[in-house]
Structure 1
Amino acid sequence: MYFSTKEIKVGLIYNTGIRIAKFGLKCLAPVNKKIRLGVKGRTETYTILKNNISKNDKTLWFHCASLGEYEQGLPVFQGLRKHYKTHKIVLTFFSPSGYQVRKNSPIANVVVYLPLDTKKNASRFLNIVNPELTIFVKYDIWPNFLNELKSRGLRALLISAAFRDNQSFFKFYGKTLRDALFTFEHIFTQNESSKVLLESINYNTVTVSGDTRFDRVSNQLKTNNQLHFIEDFKNNKLCVVAGSSWPEDESLFVNFINSKVPENIKFIIAPHNIKSQQIKNLKEKLNTKTVLFSEKEEKNLADATVFVIDTIGLLSKIYSYADIAYVGGAMGNTGLHNTLEPAVFGIPIIIGPNHTKFPEAKSMIDNNGMFSISNQKEFNFILNELIENNRKRLYSGKKNSEFIIKNKGAVIQILDYLRI
């Protein structure tokens, strides 16, 4: 295969950047817990793989950057799991926030950190795994791994892809990443604009299937969402749930709750960060009766006005008890959290102003099911309106559930392509 001088230079720059990143991560590991977990975890990857996979095993490889991509890909993974019953599934994460939560995922036989994207790592990893099919989710693109897959004639798909014109793939300096897209046999995008961007670089084996998260959250309706302690707390009163909140989100609720709030309103706050000091600070700022999940056995939940969920893994079920939801992340710059989880239960949603990277948020705002606020005054106004106006609250919630139903079906298209 012939490579131009320019292509070789671009590749050298990328690979040099990976080596610099590796050095930088090792330097930062002692002072950053999250980075330390990733660095340590990657040193164990090959040992875990060798202990769990033999040369005679048939395998599938699913890769997710973090927890959000895992949740996005899960319904596809589940469909493949049912079909490939005798295959071993290798699930990889890059971020500790994904690995730490889903390292015991029942969907996979082996869960590991993906090694850094060097040619040596790619070859070593694939020598062990040798996947019959590889699924990457969204846009976590690793050129050396993908090029090695292609050179071995191994199939790879990218699902739930979402692209923006300001990404490196579509810039003059993004050739290495752009070329990596062409290693995929097929790309399934969330929207038409992503397809147009791919076609602008002459990638044409693309299908607009939609976002698999719609299928994922729809499955939540089929599960048992009952939580008796939430029923005890709610006590048949109107309930506002703040999900995946950050301090800037929580300050809105603290100020609102500490003002004169009707007695028939209950509030559940599920912080994104459940560090004990942050939970302590939040509770101390509230001047109404507040109970923590960790102390629920010792308290009369029905008497409390605020319930702070200082644990993880319950939010999807808690949303089923909400009459109004607030989803955190968009008041600051951390990124809007999953708004589809509450939307599936047919409730109105409030978010902050920084949501431009989340097309589903724009769609729900345009559809009158979601409301974006920028400050305390706007928050107070819309929350009071949704509390007091029963008709508007129910109408907005219905628009959200209709939006979810309308956008289901991505998983069927992907599995149909794979002839499953």
Structure 2
Amino acid sequence: MFLFYTILYSLFIATFRIFSFTHPRIKVFFQIRKSKPDFQALKRRTKKGRDLYWFHASSVGEYEQARAVACVLKEKKKNCFIFFTVFSDSAYYQRKDDQIHDAFFALPFDFPFVMKKWISQLNPAAIFYARYDVWPNMARTAKQMDVPQYLISAAVTKTSSRWKGISALFHRKVYSFLTKIYTMDLNSASFLQEQNLPAQFAGDTRYDAVVEKLQKEPVSISRWKKDLEKWIKKAEYSLLAGSTYPTSEKMILQWMKENSDRKVILVPHHVNQNHSDEIRQLAAKLKIPTLFFSQWQKKTGSIPEKTRLIVIDETGILPYLYSLSMVAYVGGGFEGSVHSLLEPLASLATILTGPAFQNAPEANVLKQKGFLFSVEKPDSDCFHTAFKKAMRVANNNRIPMEEFLKSNLGASRKIVEDVLGQGIE
């Protein structure tokens, strides 16, 4: 089974290599893997009993889940060495300068000989995988070398293609190499236990990650955020729209045209000149006075009184802006999968999104509690109806949302304490 996987994986990498000559994104995939650890230097840095813990995450979201555990681990074992790998180029470039890790690389290719070299040279005290990104040869090699392995914030469903047919047999074998699987929810734990796998419910470390991030708002953001807050509070009704796409942007701007007392802060998911030009043209067509963040920052003056729409054409700011409005729209719901719902939740903002939100494990619970409302179609009338529902409950939602948030904190600490042998409640 593993030989067959390795052959298929080799063919996949070879094919990818050919496409890398013409496809820039695939070329980057190989470029970031040219940087490799200096194993001898790492050994010098980890001598004298300094344990190395290897954390791996697929992309940015999973990185934050793993990071939350790494933070607690470093708090408990101040002298430990945090070694991080990521799979995607987006996570590599966005998180390579993070202060939590002591070393950071792209995950090497999952060949047995490569993993044997890395694991034997690093000699990790344990390996942590985030969410689902357990690589077969890596997990198998670590098991053979008696390295404890843990999967954190795991979420699985019986309907997933990973757990059907031959794929289920393979995944069951790979997961059997793990010392313990910490799940996000009770259903995942029950399902994995039925597969005779070492699963245990611990909770979702994303809650810890989001709250920790918002508590450390950069001073550079806090300075100009106060001006945004003054501006948006002058409106009777306001909206923070995050991770938006053209479909939702057209809907929201049309809604603004039909309701002249609205002010909106728009944070597009894709930030580039072409997209900015499209938003600028649409706003001009609908006669909505608009200010772009980059334009405002260059002038460093006050926000013009007539401005009704501010477009944040810069990345990395969105999580800190949800607190500016009692109602937030989260994009992706008309594109197949909604973006992070936990950031507006942590800011106690009642949430609007499109109908495709089942990819977010917490979405159904948030909807049942009245913290989330779905906009069924991307038109201004449907949006207006959902917005009115959200506004009616937004103020009363804040206390129960805070209680819900607090009840979901602590998964990272539970995991670390269990791993270190101090028990889990």
1:272 and 2:269 are equivalent in the alignment: yes
Q: 1:359/1:220 Cα in 2 relative to 1: closer, same or farther (>3 Å)?
A: same
1:24 equivalent in structure 2: 15
Deviation at 1:130, TM superposition (A): 1.7
After TM superposition, the structure 1 stretch with the greater mean CA deviation from structure 2, 218-227 or 271-280, is: 218-227
Helix, strand or coil at the partner of 2:343: helix
What displacement does 1:36 show? Answer: 2.1
**Equivalent in the alignment of 1:318:** 321
* Residue matched to 1:126: 119
In the TM superposition, residue 52 of structure 1 has moved relative to its aligned partner by 4.6
Name the CA shift for 1:406/1:36 in 2 (closer, same or farther; >3 Å): same
- Aligned pairs (5 A) from 1:190-201: 190-201=184-195
Q: How many Å apart are 1:368 and its aligned residue?
A: 0.5
Residues 160-192 of structure 1: per-residue CA shift (max 9 Å, x gap): 000111335422212232211111111110111
* Conservation of the 8 A alpha-carbon contact between 1:170 and 1:201: no
Partner of 1:402: 403
| Aligned-pair CA distance for 1:242 | 1.0
The separation in 2 between residues aligned to 1:331 and 1:258, in whole angstroms, is: 21
Equivalenced residue count is 402
1:27-176 pair list within 5 angstroms: 27-44=18-35, 46=36, 48-50=37-39, 52-54=41-43, 57=46, 58-174=51-167, 175-176=169-170
Q: Distance in 1 between matches of 2:351 and 2:202?
A: 25
- Percent identity over paired residues: 25
Partners of 2:99 and 2:41 lie apart in 1 by 15
CA drift of 1:267 comes to: 0.8
Q: Check 1:339–1:112 CA distance in 2 against 1; reply closer, same or farther (3 A cut).
A: same
By how many angstroms is 1:280 displaced?
A: 1.6
2:5 to 7, 14, 31: 14
SS in 1 for 2:266: strand
1:295 CA drift (Å): 1.2
Moved more, 220-229 or 265-274: 220-229
> Displacement, 1:261?
2.4
1:111 alignment partner, SS class: strand
CA deviation map 1:365-409 (0-9, x unaligned):
01101001121232121124445x4xx221234443332122222
Is the 1:370–1:396 contact (alpha carbons within 8 Å) kept by the matching residues of 2? Answer: no
Give the secondary-structure state (helix, strand or coil) at the position aligned to 1:241: strand
Q: Which residue of 2 aligns with 1:378?
A: 382
1:189 is aligned to 183
Q: Closer, same or farther in 2 for the Cα pair 1:232/1:55, shift >3 Å?
A: closer
Q: Bigger shift: 176-185 or 300-309?
A: 300-309
What letter is aligned with 2:242?
Answer: G
SS in 2 for 1:173: helix
Q: CA RMSD in A?
A: 2.0
Counterpart Cα distance in 2 of 1:363 and 1:94: 30
Cα 1:29–1:202 change in 2 (3 A) is same
CA contact (8 A) 2:129 2:152 kept: yes
Partner of 1:227: 222
CA distance in structure 2 between the aligned counterparts of 1:155 and 1:113, rounded to whole angstroms: 21
Deviations 1:333-356 (A, max 9, x none): 2x2111111111211100111112
1:285 aligns to what? 282
Offset at 1:220? 4.3
| Structure 2 counterpart of 1:83, one-letter code | K
Q: Does 1:415 align with 2:416?
A: yes
Pairwise CA distance, 1:124: 2.1
Question: Residues 273-317 of structure 1: CA distance to partner in whole angstroms, max 9, x if unpaired?
Answer: 111111121122113111112111325424321111111111111
Structure 2 counterpart of 1:363? 365
CA distance in 2, matches of 1:285, 1:318: 23
Q: What CA deviation, in whole Å up to 9, does each residue of 1:237-260 have, x standing for no partner? A: 343111111222222212212323
Provide the secondary structure at the position in 2 that maps to 1:311.
coil
Alignment partner of 2:165: what SS?
A: coil
Is the contact made by 2:70 and 2:82 (CA closer than 8 Å) also made in structure 1? Answer: no
Unaligned runs of 5+ in 2: none
Letter in 1 for 2:10: R
2:163·2:171 contact (CA, 8 Å) conserved in 1? no
- Corresponding residue for residue 336 of structure 1: 338
- Which ranges of structure 1 fall in alignment gaps of 5 or more residues? 1-9
- Distance of aligned partners of 1:95 and 1:223 in 2 relative to their CA distance in 1, 3 Å threshold: same
TM-score in terms of structure 2 length: 0.89
Instruction: For residue 56 of structure 1, report the CA deviation from its aligned partner.
Output: 6.7
How far apart, in 2, do the equivalents of 1:176 and 1:398 lie?
Answer: 45
* 1:260 to 2:259 alignment: yes
Measure, in 2, the Cα distance between the counterparts of 1:67 and 1:347. 23
Distance 2:38 2:76 in 1: 23
Q: 3-state SS of the aligned residue for 2:321?
A: helix
Query: 1:360: how far off?
Result: 0.4
